[in-house]
Amino acid sequence: MAKKKSVLDLMKMKKAGEKVAWITAYDYPTAMFAEAAGMDMLLVGDSLGMVTLGYSGTIPVTMEDCISHCQAVRRGAPKTWIIGDMPFGSYQTSDEDAVKNAVRFLKEADTDCIKLEGGVRVQSRIRAITDAGIPVIGHIGLTPQSSGQLGGFKAQGRTVENARGVIEDALAVQEAGAFALLVEAVPPEVTGFITKKLDIPVYSIGAGDCDGQLLISSDMVGKFQAFTPKFVKKYANVAEAETNAYKEYIKDVKEGVFPSDEYVYHITDPEEEFEKLFNEFK
């Protein structure tokens, strides 16, 4: 198995034109499978609120939720670069709170860096966290935590005026000291310009070709069924396979087919000894 990526490795990959492949992971099995497949990075995203905890959005997700899921992912992928996602409320109030909560990810969950949403408006937060020695990935474009301000889960940067704001956010993230940038739901023309303009790696989730790609694991394997973003390519249909397995199990139980002889444990002492035992309790 390849060694865990580092910030230096990710910079080298950008310069060499080698793409970075990463997905979200929220639990031990997913992390284990992703590491076995050779995934470059794993993001324990606050999207766990929707795809794991059943919330309608990411806002209810707490630091405790994120730390717990990061711990599970680290146990499943001990040799993979893991990113902790700063949930809503963990960095908005002050630079001091941002640093304190970022530290928690590294100390309590053994993540390798953190991610937070925003560009110009969170520049001081990024700078404070990086000054504390913690690597940061910025996140601009469609930022789910502030989707209400954006008019919902809508693509960004589709007009010249809106694209200017996205570019300004990208520059602010790099200037603040982040080592990488995630761009979400932005036209590829804008993402391409940003990728060439910035020295740091630029990664995409629904934003076209750049230095690497991120997808929500539950989307790409067809496990989350509430909705599927336009930019998701489904590589499997876990929901269908799992539902069909449950249906077959229910049928077997109802018809008395399961458990059959091969799925039970057999006695080792003579049957007559067990008859004596049972008779004691009659």
Q: Which residues are marked as active site?
A: 184
CA distance linking residue 109 with residue 113, whole number of Å:
11
- Owner of token pair 């992390």: 31
DSSP 8-state symbol, 118: B
- Host H or E run for residue 205: strand 202-205
CB 129 within 8 A of CB 98: yes
Q: Return the sign of the alpha-carbon dihedral for residues 35, 37, 41, 45.
A: negative
- Host H or E run for residue 115: strand 113-117
CA distance linking residue 219 with residue 235, whole number of Å:
9
CA distance linking residue 95 with residue 66, whole number of Å:
19
